[in-house]
Homo-oligomer: A and B are copies of this chain.
Amino acid sequence: MKVIMDLCIVPMGVGVSVSKYVAECQKVLQEAGLDHQLHAYGTNIEGDWDEVFAAVKRCHERVHAMGAPRITTSIKVGTRTDRNQTMQDKIDSVQTP
């Protein structure tokens, strides 16, 4: 089952700046070989359900290992059986309706 995900990981108890934790999660996604695109309030990811969610788990493990005692993460995840759709398809469908 293929998914398109929006992922936003928020480490808590590490002060106000969290960019180094987000950068580490970008590395996790790259190591996983997953298509992903950072935006100003999260990261879009595309791939197989199990691979994408395994990467999300590794992000939590990695951010805890960096010293964050608490993490709250927001995820939007879409699946569809009617057609195959990429992240770019979703953007194109809005921009050229």
Q: Which residues of A contact B (CB under 8 A)?
A: 1, 4-6, 8, 10, 12-13, 15-20, 22-23, 26, 37-42, 44, 46, 49-50, 53, 57, 60-61, 64, 69-82, 87-88, 90-91, 93-95, 97
Contact = CB atoms under 8 A, between A and B. Distances in A.
A76 B8 contact: yes
**Total copies of this chain within the assembly:** 4
Contact of A82 (B16, B37, B53): B16
B82 A40 contact: no
Contacts of A26: 94
B1 A61 contact: yes
A64 B74 CA distance: 22
Contact of A76 (B1, B50, B74): B74
17 contacts: A1-B61, A4-B41, A6-B8, A12-B16, A13-B15, A16-B80, A16-B82, A23-B97, A37-B40, A40-B90, A40-B91, A41-B90, A53-B53, A53-B57, A70-B79, A74-B76, A75-B77
